[in-house]
Amino acid sequence: MLRKFEDLGRLEEDEVREIVRAIVDSLIYCHGLGVVHRDVKLDNFLFTSRDHSQASVKLSDFGFARHLVDGALATTTCGTPTYVAPEILQ
């Protein structure tokens, strides 16, 4: 069963470190394939188990994702409005 971050409650620093490492690793993997997610937020990371110490972290919701090749830029405005940087909205 997948579980969301907000259900975890208080975590120890070591636990957070491992979770952040898994998040960064998932993004590095995607970028290595030339894929940009374009909607990275905690809501789109899920645990594969209720026991987060034994769970894997999975990146979900690739609805805005784009495959970039040859140094192309993604110029379409997208993402969750409440998570978008103010300079993007200007």
What pLDDT shows up at residue 17? Answer: 92
Total-model pTM:
0.75
Could you report the per-residue pLDDT of 25-66, keeping only the tens digit for each? 999 999 999 999 988 988 898 888 877 778 888 999 998 898
Residue (of 16, 22, 13, 9) closest to 50 by Cα position: 9
What pLDDT shows up at residue 21? Answer: 95
Kindly tell me the sign of the dihedral angle through the C-alpha atoms of 31, 29, 78, 89: negative
Mean of pLDDT values over 79-83: 75
Q: What band does 2 get if pLDDT is binned at 50, 70 and 90?
A: low
Number of domains within the chain: 1
Mean of pLDDT values over 9-24: 88
CATH number at residue 81: 1.10.510.10
Q: What is the dihedral of CA 63, 68, 74, 77, to 10 degrees?
A: 0
User: Known catalytic residues?
Assistant: 39
Residue 40 belongs to domain spanning: 5-89
